[in-house]
Amino acid sequence: MDCRSMPSDRHCTLVISGEEDEVLEVAAAHAVTSHGHTDGPELRESLRADLRDEDMLQAEQGSFIQLIEFQAHDLDRIRELADQWRERIGSEATARWGVISADRDRRNTYVQLVAFPDYAAAMRNSEHPATTELAKQLQEVTEGETNYRNLDVREVMHM
C-alpha cells in the first residue's frame, strides 16, 4: 500500500509492505488515525482495491519518471551526494526509486531515471531544500549541461 499515490491534502508518504492481511490491517488503522476515515467494510474494500504487488509499484500508469543525462568523471562523489541527500530529506522524499546507468558508447556519460508516484510528488521533491542543495552540489561534480526529461508513464509493459 502506497499512501503517496492516494489523493490527499496531507501529502502522506507512508508505504506499507508485507502480507496482504497485515498490510490491510495497518492501512486501515493508518486511514483512521491519520486521515480521519471510519473503519468498516467500505473502507477495507476500498483499501483492498488499492493494494498493489510490490513489483507493480516500480512504475505504473499515471506515475512520473524524470530522466537525467549528465557527464561526470567521479561517480563515487555523485553517490556520496545522493546518500547525503537521502539522509537530509528523510521521510519527505517522494521519489520511489532511482537507477543510474552508464552509456556504453559515450565515456563518462550517465543517464539517471528517478520514479515518483506522480508529477505533483516529483515537484514537491524538487522544491525541497535538500534537493535544491543537491542540485547545486551536482553542478560542481558534473561536466557540461545536465539534461532533464519529464516523463508521464502512459503504460507499463510486463515482459
Question: Per residue in 4-52, pLDDT tens?
Answer: 767 667 778 888 988 999 999 999 999 999 999 999 999 999 898 888 7
> Nine-digit cell at 138?
551536482
Q: How far apart are CA 74 and CA 66, in angstroms?
A: 22
CA angle 6, 94, 22 (to 5 degrees): 55
Indicate the SS3 state at residue 13.
coil
- The model's pLDDT over 70-101, given as tens digits with 9 standing for 90+, comes to 999 999 999 999 999 989 998 888 888 888 99
pLDDT for residue 1 is more than 70:
yes
> Nine-digit cell at 83?
546518500
**Per-residue pLDDT, 59:** 77
**For cell 552540489, what's the residue?**
137
Q: Hey, CA dihedral for 7, 51, 4, 120, is it positive or negative?
A: negative
Q: Which amino acid is at 41?
A: P
Q: Are 113 and 63 contacting, i.e. CB atoms less than 8 angstroms apart?
A: no
Q: Hey, CA dihedral for 6, 25, 93, 152, is it positive or negative?
A: negative
More confident residue, 59 or 159: 59
Domains defined along the chain, listed by start: 3-51 (no CATH), 64-152 (3.30.70.100)
Q: How far apart are CA 111 and CA 117, in angstroms?
A: 20
* Mean pLDDT on 103-113: 96
Q: How far apart are CA 22 and CA 99, in angstroms?
A: 30
**Sequence-separated (6 or more) residues with CB below 8 Å from residue 21:** none
**Per-residue pLDDT, 91:** 81
- The model's pLDDT over 131-143, given as tens digits with 9 standing for 90+, comes to 999 999 999 999 9
**Per-residue pLDDT, 153:** 93
Reported as a pLDDT band with limits 50, 70 and 90, residue 54 is low
**Per-residue pLDDT, 159:** 65
Reported as a pLDDT band with limits 50, 70 and 90, residue 121 is very high
Number of neighbouring beta carbons within 10 Å of residue 142: 19
More confident residue, 70 or 3: 70
